[in-house]
Amino acid sequence: MDKDRLDPWGTSAIKDYSRLQSEFGIEPLAPLVPRFKKPSPHMRRGIDFGQRDLARIVEAVERNKPYAVMSGIKPTGDFHLGTKMTADDMVYFQSLSKKGTVFYAIADVEAYADNGLSFEQTAKTAVRNVADILALGLDPDRAVVYFQSEELKVMRLGIVFSRGVTNNMLRAIYGERQIGLYMAALFQAGDILMPQLPELGGPKPVLVPVGADQDPHIRLARDLAARYHDDFGFVPPSSIYHKLERGLTGSGKMSKREPASGFTLEEAPAVVSKKVLASFTGGRATIEEQRRLGGQPDICPVFDLYNFHFAPDNEYATRVYQECAGGIRMCGECKQEAATLVKEFLVQHRKKRTALMKDAEELLVKSRRYLISAGK
Amino acid sequence: MDKDRLDPWGTSAIKDYSRLQSEFGIEPLAPLVPRFKKPSPHMRRGIDFGQRDLARIVEAVERNKPYAVMSGIKPTGDFHLGTKMTADDMVYFQSLSKKGTVFYAIADVEAYADNGLSFEQTAKTAVRNVADILALGLDPDRAVVYFQSEELKVMRLGIVFSRGVTNNMLRAIYGERQIGLYMAALFQAGDILMPQLPELGGPKPVLVPVGADQDPHIRLARDLAARYHDDFGFVPPSSIYHKLERGLTGSGKMSKREPASGFTLEEAPAVVSKKVLASFTGGRATIEEQRRLGGQPDICPVFDLYNFHFAPDNEYATRVYQECAGGIRMCGECKQEAATLVKEFLVQHRKKRTALMKDAEELLVKSRRYLISAGK
């Protein structure tokens, strides 16, 4: 992160989340939490920390009005912990009301352009990715999953936006970038705003759950929503921000681009165990010191594993934190315990996912049919 | 045109075509003309003046190998003299061999983004535009006409190219531009290179007939063909350049964007006559002077009308030139004569075009079916 810019394509960690509020205008989440009947684990554990216009979503839920939850995935491989986190948020926000629809974009054009993956390859990966999100609890009856490469509505919006945006606006948000990244950002704004097109029910609140480093994309989409308000009636999209998981290697954020920093939901349990057991921690130099000073869960990627994903409930996560900070919990056992939880989760998840492969295919077919007929 | 750059989006005229050869590497056309059995009127009248790799097309014709001719139109209104000129070139190059296929892109996404025209509006205009080109002689059996908004292959190529291009490369070719214009240029490169995709028969020579000011688009497409040669086997596209018609108002080039500078093939004959009769000319201050010094056909938009379009044959165009330069032909009669020729052409053309509306619709349907099945 450079001095005055967030980098959605970088790998560095964010050190001070409060700065995001003063510098970028991300609003705190806390004041809104009481309006949720059952706040999500991410909200309760301080993982979700900020928002923009989340009140619009809360109001839609309270008044039983339609809203959408939007996110996307680059189908370059299996679900990673980062994708899981966003998926968990989507599932949660979909569950708040029968009027909530999830839009899930499969960025296969990007996977092709950046990673050289053919559309056939990514189509296969996408089915697995969709099965993953179903296994995490997505309701397929209120979900629309689409391939960017097949969604002309998104491409058209991207092109329209490209004419309305100034280079200075893009530079202010993203810094000086290669044009392909600007283009990807504009199409992504198309993804975010598509649910508000007349053929998809018209203007409505749309929530985009993202990692804090993705805020530039939100700002662009919000700028464009304002700029094209007269043409499309766009409501500025809302966002909720989660903290970034620390990489297991101890350097920067956990990232798909650095496989050693995390793991996918499909990696062999033995490999995952190894990664967890070898993880960097917030532990002290000696056991003696750790007993005396306590560990440092706030900088520990192993604590993040508990807190972001694998602690069975909030009390469990809190207990781990307190035992660590209190010098009772030592890193060796803690990693063992984490590895066991991870392994149990993975085994269960895979079972569910395998059983849901057919549902995933059906959801893709159904979504496509819906979007094509909506375009007419 | 600034000192070292051609502006495909500008309205200024080009004063010195020979400079294009020394500065931009456009090759002269003359040495290749003898290889055409029946050179086109544009070639014989010095309107087409330059080329890049046109020899590839000549060779394809000579060896009876497949080649394509590619151009596009922004469907913002009726055929203008500039669109007619490119269409004439397409028809000519298609006619050289049974192995020549025309690809014609209808840039409806741009018409939407730049001119706010809905896809319904442009779809109607496009049918009329296609009927125009059929009336000018296009063989529909070897033509593929498509809407950019429906052609995912083009969009995908545009996105792929956006990742492979550097900002410096774009700036070197186009100067510092608004990102939307860069994006349009990249999608246009997609149009130019699409005929070489495996599903459309694979690598082959593709000719793009253009006005001299459009050379930046050709350079970009050729750069990208080289850059993606290993992935797609692209043959660098060929081009042939025609001079730009002078605007009737005497300022700059004839341009769709300045309606007074020219006319469409659908304007009322009375209006067109008026424009021709009111045209700026290369005439002298007085009749006496014109008799003594001769007129200046080389800077006269009325002579351009004869030479580019409406002189029934080459001898006719030459005679007008010589009479004018020799001080025999006066501007008043010359404009009257031009107006009559234009009117006759328009009446004939409209008759043909009206009769071809159904064929135009059929060509669009047939093309779409072909491109969809080719994508599978």
Q: How far is B150 from chain A (nearest CA, A)?
A: 7
Whether the pLDDT of residue A3 is over 60: the answer is no
pLDDT on residue A11: 64
Using a CB–CB cutoff of 8 Å, tell me whether B220 touches chain A.
no
Q: How confident is the model at residue B254 (pLDDT cuts 50, 70, 90)?
A: confident
Instruction: State the Cα–Cα distance between residues B162 and B187, nearest whole angstrom.
Output: 9
pLDDT for residue A13: 67
> Where are the extended beta strands (E) located within chain A?
27-28, 48-52, 67-73, 100-106, 143-147, 206-211, 238-242
High-pLDDT (> 70) share of chain B, %? 98
- Of A91-95, B212-216, B224-228, B325-329, which range is least confident? B212-216
Q: Average pLDDT of A48-60?
A: 97
Over range A340-344, report the average pLDDT: 96
Cβ under 8 Å to A: B residues 101-140:
109-110, 112-114
* pTM for the structure as a whole: 0.86
| Bridge partners (DSSP) listed for residue A144 | A103
Residues 6 or more apart from A370 whose CB is under 8 A from it? A144
Residues 6+ apart with CB under 8 A from A88: A40, A41, A42, A136
Question: Which residues of chain B make contact with A162, given a CB cutoff of 8 A?
Answer: 113, 179-180, 183-184
Test A180 with B163 for CB contact under 8 angstroms: yes
A116: left (phi over 0), alpha (psi -120 to 50) or beta: left
Is A183 in contact with B162 (Cβ distance < 8 A)?
Answer: yes
Q: Which residues contact A63 (CB under 8 A, 6 or more apart)?
A: none
Contact state of A180 with B170 under an 8 Å Cβ cutoff: no
Q: Do A112 and B160 touch (CB under 8 A)?
A: yes
Over range A282-309, report the average pLDDT. Answer: 96
Judge whether residue B12 has pLDDT over 70: no
**Amino acid B260: pLDDT:** 86
Residue B375 touches partner A, C-beta closer than 8 Å: no
Q: Kindly list the distances between the CA atom of residue A301 and the CA atoms of A34, A339, A345, in Å, as whole numbers in the listed order.
A: 29, 13, 18
**Cβ neighbour number for residue A227 with a 10 Å cutoff:** 16
CA gap A154, B266 in Å, rounded: 35
What is the pLDDT averaged over residues A168-194? Answer: 93
Cβ distance A46 to A18 under 8 Å? Answer: no
Report the alpha-carbon distance of residue A254 to residue A275 in Å, rounded: 13
Using the predicted structure, report yes or no on whether residue B135 has a pLDDT greater than 80: yes
In chain A, what residues touch B150 (CB-CB under 8 Å)?
152
In angstroms, the separation between the Cα of residue A172 and the nearest Cα of chain B is 14
Output DSSP code: residue B145: E
pLDDT band at B1 (very low <50, low <70, confident <90, very high): very low
Strand-pairing partners, residue A369, are: none
Question: Tell me: the pLDDT tens digits for B71-125?
Answer: 999 898 899 998 999 999 999 999 999 999 999 999 987 888 778 888 888 999 9
Q: Indicate the residue of A159, A164, A180 with minimum beta-carbon distance to B162.
A: A180
**Is pLDDT at A376 greater than 60 in this prediction?**
no
Chain A residues with beta carbon closer than 8 angstroms to that of B178: 163, 166-167
Nearest to B170 among A112, A159, A179 (CB): A179
The mean per-residue pLDDT over the stretch B223-228 comes to: 96
* Arithmetic mean of pLDDT over chain A: 92
pLDDT at residue A375 greater than cutoff 70: no
CB of A156 less than 8 A from some CB of B: yes
Distance from CA of A175 to the nearest CA of B (A): 13
Confirm or reject contact between B182 and chain A (CB < 8 A): yes
- Return the sign of the alpha-carbon dihedral for residues A211, A212, A217, A222: positive
Tokens 């030479």, residue?
B307
User: Under DSSP, is residue B147 helix (H, G, I), strand (E, B) or coil?
Assistant: strand
Q: How confident is the model at residue B4 (pLDDT cuts 50, 70, 90)?
A: low
> Could you tell me if residue A118 is left (phi over 0), alpha (psi between -120 and 50 degrees) or otherwise beta?
beta
From the candidates B183, B223, B228, B368, which should be mutated to test the interface with A, based on the most A CB atoms within 10 A?
B183
Interface membership of B98 toward A (CB under 8 Å) = no
Looking at residue A1, its pLDDT comes to: 41
C-alpha B162: how far from chain center: 25
CA distance A98 to chain B (A): 34
pLDDT band at A12 (very low <50, low <70, confident <90, very high): low
Rounded average pLDDT over B148-160: 87
Written as one letter, the residue type at B320 is: V
- Chain A residues with CB inside 8 Å of B120's CB? none
Q: Are A156 and B167 inside 8 Å of each other by CB?
A: no
Nearest to B126 by CA among B349, B331, B365: B365
- The answer to whether A159 contacts chain B (CB < 8 Å) is yes
Q: Which residue has the higher pLDDT, B160 or A102?
A: A102
Q: In the structure encoding, which two tokens stand for residue B69, read together?
A: 């001719």
Q: Does the distance separating the beta carbons of A112 and B162 come in below 8 Å?
A: no
Lowest mean pLDDT, pick from A5-19, A38-52, A287-301: A5-19
Q: Between these two residues, A360 and A4, which has the higher pLDDT value? A: A360
Confirm if B160 and B230 have CB atoms less than 8 A apart. Answer: no
User: Residues B264, B270, B276, B280: is their CA dihedral positive or negative?
Assistant: negative
Q: Tell me, yes or no, if A332 comes closer than 8 A to chain B by beta carbon.
A: no
Q: Distance, in angstroms, between B77 CA and closest chain A CA?
A: 19
Residue B118 with chain A: CB contacts under 8 Å: none
Whether residue A165 lies within 8 A of chain B, CB to CB, comes out as yes
A chain contacts of residue B167, beta-carbon cutoff 8 Å? 176, 178-179
The predicted-structure confidence for A238-269, as pLDDT tens digits, reads as follows 999 999 899 999 878 888 888 889 999 999 98
**Which of A163, A199, A230 best tests the B interface by mutation, with the highest count of B CBs <10 A?**
A163
Q: Does the distance separating the beta carbons of B183 and A159 come in below 8 Å?
A: yes
A180 vs B187: CB contact, 8 Å cut-off?
no
CA closest to B114 among chain A residues: A163
**Would you call A170 and B150 a contact, using CB atoms and an 8 Å cutoff?**
no
Q: How many residues does chain A have?
A: 376
CB contact under 8 A, B178 and A160: no
The answer, for B155 touching chain A at a CB cutoff of 8 Å, is yes
State the pLDDT at residue A9. Answer: 73
Count of alpha carbons within 13 angstroms of residue B187, beta-carbon side: 26
Query: In chain B, which residues have their Cβ closer than 8 Å to the Cβ of A166?
Result: 178
Q: Which one of A156, A181, A220 makes the best mutation probe of the B interface by having the most chain B beta carbons within 10 Å? A: A156
